[in-house]
């Protein structure tokens, strides 16, 4: 049984006051006991992680994540933040390989392998993102594009994988991100099954069955239930809709409804 998970990726949005207000609103409105049924993660800008964590205004059990993490523990890397620093300010998760990092910062497999490895070594749970572009999908090359991005996981040492809850995979088709055109439930399920087969080939069936695979790309309260109903979709990685606390609460409630049987 895989516990549903909803992850807010705020990207480069919100002022510090807005981030703190959101955390306070979530604390006031999140139904008691929800975190026993759904894992909830908030990924603010780096700069806002520490104040949100240290002010302790998030509801108990709601965790913080970073939107990226470096491949080294420390060193001469101007402008970067290491997994150890993130851990130090009570970050629990790190998004690695988001398509915006791949596209705007040229991140590719060798670098992402380093980021995954160092994050896990530092005790962060990676949320590793893969997703095909529109051209790949239109050319019938969706699986080919995903296979190339996934291959790095075959190299990840098994020493880190003793607990399946310590790794999350996110399927985010690039054409669905921020466009309002989410993948259909059928498209998401087809890809998630394929990704789980790849995980099985890398890590074995037990690990693959226990690893949560979340969908991301234009998730909204009116489309999430059908996606969550898919047998191999274990949660959502949410951009735009996660900026609004009311919408985010609705998504959490939908994920909670999908907790059975996975
Ligand atoms: P949107 O939900 O805004 O499409 O963003 C998805 C995403 O990139 C989350 O990481």
Question: In the structure, what pLDDT confidence band is assigned to residue 156 with cuts at 50, 70 and 90?
Answer: confident
pLDDT of residue 165: 81
Tens digit of pLDDT for each residue in 113-131?
999 999 999 999 999 999 9
Coil, strand or helix at 2 = coil
pLDDT at 164: 77
Mean pLDDT of 27-50: 97
The yes-or-no verdict on residue 26 having pLDDT over 80 is yes
Cβ proximity of 195 and 169 under 8 Å: yes
pLDDT at position 160 over 80: no
Q: Would you say the CB of residue 118 lies under 6 angstroms from ligand 1?
A: no
Domain range annotation of the chain: 5-29+37-250
* Phi-psi label, residue 11: left if phi above 0, alpha if psi -120 to 50, beta otherwise: left
Contact 89/53 with Cβ under 8 angstroms? yes
Please tell me if the CB atom of residue 178 comes closer than 6 angstroms to any atom of ligand 1.
yes
Residue 257: predicted pLDDT: 87
- Which amino acid residue places its CA nearest to atom 2 of ligand 1? 239
Q: Looking at residue 258, what is its pLDDT?
A: 62
3-state secondary structure of 22: helix
- CATH code of 5-29+37-250, in short, is 3.20.20.70
Cα gap 11→204, rounded to integer Å: 33
pLDDT band at 161 (very low <50, low <70, confident <90, very high): confident
**Spacing, Cα 140 to ligand 1 middle (Å):** 23
pLDDT at 163: 81
Q: Is the pLDDT of residue 261 over 70?
A: no
For residue 101 the two structure tokens come to 């990092």
Helix, strand, coil distribution of the chain in percent, nearest 5: 50, 15, 35
Active-site annotation, residues: 98, 172
Residue nearest to atom 1 of ligand 1 (CA): 239
Distance 86 CA to ligand 1 centre (A): 22
Distance CA 37, CA 103 (A): 35
- pLDDT over 90 at 56, yes or no: no
Instruction: Tell me the average pLDDT across 65-78.
Output: 98
Which pLDDT tens digit goes with each residue over 222-232?
999 999 999 99
Q: Are the C-beta atoms of 65 and 93 separated by less than 8 Å?
A: yes
Q: Using a 6 Å cutoff on CB, does residue 217 contact ligand 1?
A: yes
Mutate to test the pocket of ligand 1, among 102, 238, 248 (most ligand atoms within 8 A of CB): 238
Between 143 and 261, the more confident residue is: 143
Q: Residue 259 pLDDT > 80, yes or no? A: no
Phi-psi region of 20 (alpha: psi -120 to 50; beta: other; left: phi over 0): alpha
User: Is the pLDDT assigned to residue 54 strictly greater than 90?
Assistant: no
What pLDDT, in 10s, does the model give residues 207-253? 999 999 999 999 999 999 999 999 999 999 999 999 999 999 999 99
């Amino acid at each position: 049984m895989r516990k549903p998970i909803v992850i807010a990726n705020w990207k480069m949005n919100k002022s510090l006051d807005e981030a703190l207000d959101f955390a306070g609103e979530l604390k006031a409105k999140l139904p008691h006991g929800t975190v026993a049924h759904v894992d909830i993660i908030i990924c603010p800008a780096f700069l806002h992680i520490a104040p949100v964590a240290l002010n302790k205004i998030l509801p108990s059990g709601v965790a913080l994540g970073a939107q990226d993490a470096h491949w080294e523990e420390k060193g001469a890397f101007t402008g970067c933040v290491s997994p150890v620093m993130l851990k130090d300010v009570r970050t629990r998760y790190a998004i690695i390989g988001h398509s915006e990092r791949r596209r705007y910062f040229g991140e590719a497999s060798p670098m992402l392998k380093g980021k995954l490895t160092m994050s896990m070594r530092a005790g962060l749970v990676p949320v590793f993102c893969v997703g095909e572009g529109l051209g790949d999908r239109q050319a019938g090359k969706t699986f080919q594009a995903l296979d190339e991005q996934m291959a790095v996981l075959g190299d990840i040492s098994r020493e880190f994988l003793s607990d399946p809850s310590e790794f999350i995979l996110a399927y985010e088709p690039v054409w669905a991100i921020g466009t309002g055109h989410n993948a259909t439930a059928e498209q998401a399920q087809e890809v998630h099954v394929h990704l789980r087969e790849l995980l099985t080939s890398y890590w074995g069936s037990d690990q693959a069955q226990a690893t949560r695979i979340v969908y991301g790309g234009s998730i909204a309260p009116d489309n999430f239930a059908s996606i969550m109903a898919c047998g191999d979709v274990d949660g959502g990685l949410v951009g735009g809709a996660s900026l609004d606390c009311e919408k985010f609460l609705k998504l959490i409630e939908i994920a909670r409804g999908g907790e059975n049987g996975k």
